[in-house]
Amino acid sequence: MEAIIAENVTKKFKSSILGKKITALKNVSFQLDEHEHLAVMGPSPSGKTTLLKTIAGIYLPDEGDIRVYGKSVRRKTEEVRKITYYITPQIQLNKKLTVKENLKYFTKVAGRELTEEIIQLLETAEINDEVMDKRLETLSETQTITLKLAIGLIKKPRILLMDNIFSSLEPKIKETFTETIEKLREEITLIMVDQDMETLSKLCRKTLILNHRGEMIMMGSVEQLLKNYPYKYDVEVTLKNSSIKEKIRRLGYPTQTIGDLMRIYIKSENEILELTSKLLKMKEHILKFEISGIDMEDIYYWIINK
Ligand SMILES: Nc1ncnc2c1ncn2[C@@H]1O[C@H](COP(=O)(O)OP(=O)(O)OP(=O)(O)O)[C@@H](O)[C@H]1O
Ligand SMILES: [Mg+2]
């Protein structure tokens, strides 16, 4: 069953400067099956947040439409809002209410009780009895995001949309969040944007990539992307001396430079041996190098730079 069918979605905003129109999404079409987990990636900005908010019925498309479990976001906006939940570090809940009051409100609206799992999730972010009586404005960013996810679990949406929450979380709670989402794998359709590529690749088997004009440049499973990607490994070299950069580039492999760090892309195990011996000859200019299999982050940079 299709959870989402997006057809030629275009979304424009009127820019506050000069009143010019900005196209945030242009002709985006895709389908997503129920219970799939999709990572939306693209440079900043490329319409990622706009896409998530349009799926949640927070924004409406100017052209085209999205059907969420068969319901048109244009015509059945309220129904779409009921079955989706958009979570971001930015959007504020009622800050003047206490944690307990917020939870009470949402359990009442949803007609559900707090489960043991939700209470445990809150506890990992140290939201205990004492914190329950505090107003939201006194909570840390991690606690606020945790509360938002807890409310999401109370609501039990069919589609959960997470916008950059992992990169704002304290590392110690990331794992609990990942586990919580993993447990829901058979129950929810997940769409997420995150700068934390590691979590993104852990949770999502599919990716949708947007370019800076808000156009979809590709969508596919991570396996498909890996198959089309020409490189197998990347070697990350930390330089002691930046004058060596040019010499490394002249070795003829594709490279990417970020400050004193160079990433070299290679295709085979043979090339690892070749490259390692070449790098060892430059060892007085190199602090260290590390070989790893390519991941979603490498593919992402490759695609957006193509
Ligand atoms: N509510 C709004 N009003 C006016 N312009 C907006 C609004 N929301 C988004 N935009 C514009 O639409 C474009 C896409 O923004 P969007 O926030 O969707 O990008 P993004 O990919 O999420 O970016 P980032 O990676 O920085 O989060 C940007 O040019 C942005 O300024
Ligand atoms: Mg965004």
Q: Is 46 in the pocket of ligand 1 (CB under 6 A)?
A: yes
Where, residue-wise, is CATH 3.40.50.300 in the chain? 2-226
Burial environment of residue 290 by CB neighbours within 10 A (0 to 12, 13 to 18, 19 or more): exposed
Using an 8 Å Cβ cutoff, are 182 and 204 in contact?
no
Ligand 1 atom with the shortest distance to the CA of 53: 18
Q: Is 84 in the pocket of ligand 1 (CB under 6 A)?
A: no
Q: Is 44 in the pocket of ligand 1 (CB under 6 A)?
A: yes
Name residue, tokens 């004009």: 213
Q: From CA 171, how far away is CA 186, in angstroms rounded?
A: 26
- Its pTM stands at 0.86
Coil, helix or strand for 11?
Answer: strand
The fold of the 230-305 domain, in CATH, is: Alpha-Beta Plaits (3.30.70)
The rounded Å distance from CA 24 to ligand 1 centre is 6
Q: From CA 4, how far away is CA 14, in angstroms rounded?
A: 27
On whether the 2-226 domain is CATH 3.40.50.300, my answer is yes
Residue identifier of the C-alpha nearest atom 11 of ligand 1? 24
Burial environment of residue 211 by CB neighbours within 10 A (0 to 12, 13 to 18, 19 or more): middle
The rounded Å distance from CA 166 to ligand 1 centre is 19
- The pair of structure tokens assigned to 143 is 């606690």
Strand bridging mode 63-68 / 2-14: antiparallel
CA angle 8, 14, 19 (to 5 degrees): 145
The rounded Å distance from CA 148 to ligand 1 centre is 22
The pLDDT profile of the chain, 306 residues, written as one tens digit per residue, is 999 999 999 999 998 777 889 999 999 999 999 999 999 999 899 999 999 999 999 999 999 999 999 999 999 999 999 999 999 998 678 888 999 999 999 999 999 999 999 999 999 999 999 999 999 989 999 999 999 999 999 999 999 999 999 999 988 899 999 999 999 989 999 999 998 888 998 899 999 999 999 999 989 988 888 787 889 999 999 999 889 999 999 999 999 888 999 999 999 999 999 999 999 999 999 999 999 988 877 777 777 666
Where, residue-wise, is CATH 3.30.70.980 in the chain? 230-305
Q: Is 146 in the pocket of ligand 1 (CB under 6 A)?
A: no
Residue identifier of the C-alpha nearest atom 25 of ligand 1? 44
